[in-house]
Amino acid sequence: MIGQANSIERRSGVALWRQIADQILHSIAVGDFPENAALPPEIALAGRYGVNRHTVRSAIAALVQEGVLRAEQGRGTFVLSRKRLSYPIGARTRFSEGLQGQASERHITLLASSIEPANRRVAEGLGLATGADVIRLETRGEADGMPVSRAAGWFDARRFAGIDAAMAETGSITASLARFGIDDYLRQSTVLSARHADAADLADLELQPGAIVLVTVAVNVTPDGQPIQFSESRFPAERIELKLSAL
Amino acid sequence: MIGQANSIERRSGVALWRQIADQILHSIAVGDFPENAALPPEIALAGRYGVNRHTVRSAIAALVQEGVLRAEQGRGTFVLSRKRLSYPIGARTRFSEGLQGQASERHITLLASSIEPANRRVAEGLGLATGADVIRLETRGEADGMPVSRAAGWFDARRFAGIDAAMAETGSITASLARFGIDDYLRQSTVLSARHADAADLADLELQPGAIVLVTVAVNVTPDGQPIQFSESRFPAERIELKLSAL
DNA sequence: TCATTTTGTCTATTGATATAGACAACTATA
DNA sequence: TATAGTTGTCTATATCAATAGACAAAATGA
């Protein structure tokens, strides 16, 4: 939306075809290449980016592989539709409710759970002593079969013993907390950043190398301000945008 | 903080040295490589990442160039301190106030301004008809001489005629709006995403290719709910994290 | 001082990237 | 049915990225 940026950096450590693929993705996101329409011909793109046609072809091949484009010999290359879901973050941030209306099917899978000593960051978030036992739940959120989040949540092991089993059974943080008498909880703080997906993200979220994840670090508290959950969540930026609401 | 991820993707279009540089940056951010301490020796890093020592050296050379590391022959390679600033986003989001206490000097530079017809997105945000004249201000925020944001702000051209001159003079959105009788304004909505910096971002924010930017799209309104500003801001993820507060 | 550890520089080789040109295969349309 | 426009495939060449090995230069500690 700001300045258009059809320039390419050579010997930057990022191959030209990868940079061009990213630019095409950006152009699609911004609406310069509308969905379901044909891309400019390869020759034209090569001219626009100042590279050889074969280099453009490499970029297109990667995006075809990623499911963003479809190439048809003799006809052209077309933009497939890929809407980003909008995930609301506010005082009452709940996974399933948040995506209601945007995806017909949505659920959380418990990937792993463990008991571990709290590191400094987790301990501060939960108001515990560093080294105190905490339960860690690793979860993945999916919407219509597509992974849209990967989260680690930490809970005081003394107060929430067995929350891992509850989570496995109910598939819901909210329902699991209810078993411990938590009928309501609020989001106290959220810190947001972004970075490249690491190898674990790539695998769990089914992303391609170079993908970007949004990272939120949050603390949930009871209505009277007692911290109950510290969490770090990652959202693939190509599938999710975060909509901040009253919190 | 979740799974550690010291694996590297070959023929991904991103050179191994660039991937390793990014991993080192990540390790520094996460605290695995503490500030002001020595990195593991090149040989050890090569072993950890499963590459040749020379490839690690390329990564280190890039980070030395970026000012993240300092290599000293015979002694080792050291992590320079580079803290990420925390930019608060809430009901009253103001650039200069937000970074108070984190940077001694901070200001906004007006890069460009123009009058243009509102596209659909801007018009919807401001509650105007598509094609209505709007003033666009392109600004860059700096803290202690380091670029930390790049933003485009749109204003109704009829109501805020001359805001570009006010902005150039005062260097503050808040002060400029005050000249039009706006003593207070609130943030109505914020939508957040992340992507790779494009060439314009790289230039204006002094980033290296492959850098990530956080993108916020926001609407500011008067206390009685009248939209006055539509904006799109980008923050380099390596320098800024967004701290969401009550809004 | 001397051995060890670490970064710096050099040569050589292999594989991935990028350019260049030519032509085949397919589609749409005049 | 031609013709023009588009994607697909092939060969060839040059440059960048990555590996491999050897040794120099500087700092550290016994």
ipTM entry: 0.59
Q: Is it the case that residue B221 has pLDDT exceeding 70?
A: yes
Q: Is it the case that residue A163 has pLDDT exceeding 90?
A: yes
CB B62 within 8 A of CB B17: yes
Q: Which of residues 122-151 of B touch A (CB under 8 A)?
A: 138, 150
Put simply, the answer to whether B14 touches A12 (Cβ < 8 Å) is no
Put simply, the answer to whether B199 touches A15 (Cβ < 8 Å) is no
Q: Which of residues 40-79 of A touch B (CB under 8 A)?
A: 62
B112 in reach of chain A (CB within 8 A): no
3-class secondary structure, A120 = helix
3-class secondary structure, A25 = helix
**β-bridge partners, B242:** A192, B87
What is the structure's pLDDT at B25? 82
Q: Is it the case that residue B196 has pLDDT exceeding 90?
A: no
CB A241 within 8 A of CB A209: no
Closest chain A residue to the Cα of B138, Cα to Cα: A2
Show residues of chain B in contact with A26, CB under 8 Å. 195-196, 198
What is the structure's pLDDT at A200? 79
Domain with CATH 3.40.1410.10 in chain B: 85-244
CB A234 within 8 A of CB A138: no
What is the structure's pLDDT at B107? 86
Please give, chain by chain, protein residues whose CB is below 7 Å from any atom of strand C: A 15-18, 50-52, 54-55, 58, 72-75; B 10-13, 38-39, 41-43, 54, 57, 60, 71-77
Show residues of chain A in contact with B21, CB under 8 Å. 13
What is the structure's pLDDT at A246? 62
Tokens standing for residue B169: 């003079």
pLDDT range class, residue A11, cuts 50, 70, 90: low
Q: Is it the case that residue A153 has pLDDT exceeding 50?
A: yes
What is the structure's pLDDT at B247? 52
A11 touches strand D (CB under 7 A): yes
Distance CA A105, CA A131 (A): 39
Distance CA B83, CA B169 (A): 31
> Averaging pLDDT over each range in B32-46, B216-230, B233-247, which range is the top one?
B216-230
Q: Which nucleotides of strand D lie within 7 A of protein CB?
A: 5-11, 16-21, 25-28
Rounded alpha-carbon distances, angstroms, from residue B246 to A89, A125, A193, B69 = 11, 18, 18, 37
What is the structure's pLDDT at A5? 41
A73 touches strand D (CB under 7 A): yes
Put simply, the answer to whether A200 touches B26 (Cβ < 8 Å) is no
Mean pLDDT across B146-151: 92
Which of A119, A198, A234 is most worth mutating to test chain B (most B CB atoms within 10 A of its CB)? A198
Give the pLDDT confidence of B74-95 residue by residue, as tens digits.
889 998 866 678 888 887 777 7
Give domain A16-79's CATH number out of 3.20.20.70, 3.10.20.30, 1.10.10.10, 3.40.710.10. 1.10.10.10
Question: How is domain A85-244 classified at the CATH fold level?
Answer: Chorismate lyase (3.40.1410)
Tokens standing for residue B133: 């004249």
A243 in reach of chain B (CB within 8 A): yes
Domain with CATH 1.10.10.10 in chain B: 16-79
CB within 8 Å of A178: residues ≥ 6 apart: none
CB within 8 Å of B44: residues ≥ 6 apart: none
The whole-chain average pLDDT of chain B stands at 86
Q: Which nucleotides of strand C lie within 7 A of protein CB?
A: 5-10, 16-21, 25-28
CB A89 within 8 A of CB A216: yes
What is the structure's pLDDT at B84? 74
pLDDT range class, residue B209, cuts 50, 70, 90: low
Give the pLDDT confidence of A58-81 residue by residue, as tens digits.
999 888 877 788 888 889 999 987
Residue type, B14: V
A198 vs B221 pLDDT, higher one: B221
pLDDT range class, residue A209, cuts 50, 70, 90: low
